Structure 1
């Protein structure tokens, strides 16, 4: 069973919770791209915890969903930048971070929190 995760940016700003699928849509160890309005989001199920990131590498904005998720390591397909999928922190290079969105489970629905107006 998947659990939800919070955001690294805090939840103080107005947040719109958008439907991103069902927990059975993304099994442990898998990732899935979803389009939530104007924002492309990458959902990852890492060790049973759901996390959500903007589906773009901070390097050249390539979709992370075209990369590889292996255990807790997310690798961008374009130039092989590597991230810790649990936190979004860069592994190589270390000084970068993915934009993370809060995730919550509401009954059998995955909801991703996006800032109002996005």
Structure 2
């Protein structure tokens, strides 16, 4: 079960593969940046009991997806739990490390868990 998972313990769940290719955009200072179009919350360094979204574990969750963004186009949804990005385990990661890893790569090959999805 992907939700209510304790970091460091074995987990069996259905994972959905999502490939997100970032798009070039311009930031507020006129610099070219790679944009993915989503925000995350959570991490092993966060207290999930204080999550405004009501998450039940320390996983990395998608908390916002911007309309018409690469994230929206590839099918990422709010409340998706990110299990892995480019082969890197996101079940045992701090919030800061997850943000840094996502920012670093132009293409994100993710495995996510989605509540209510029990088979493909």
- What is the TM-score with the length of structure 1 in the denominator? 0.31
Name which one, 1 or 2, has greater alpha-carbon Rg.
2
Bigger fraction of residues in strand: 1
Bigger fraction of residues in helix: 2
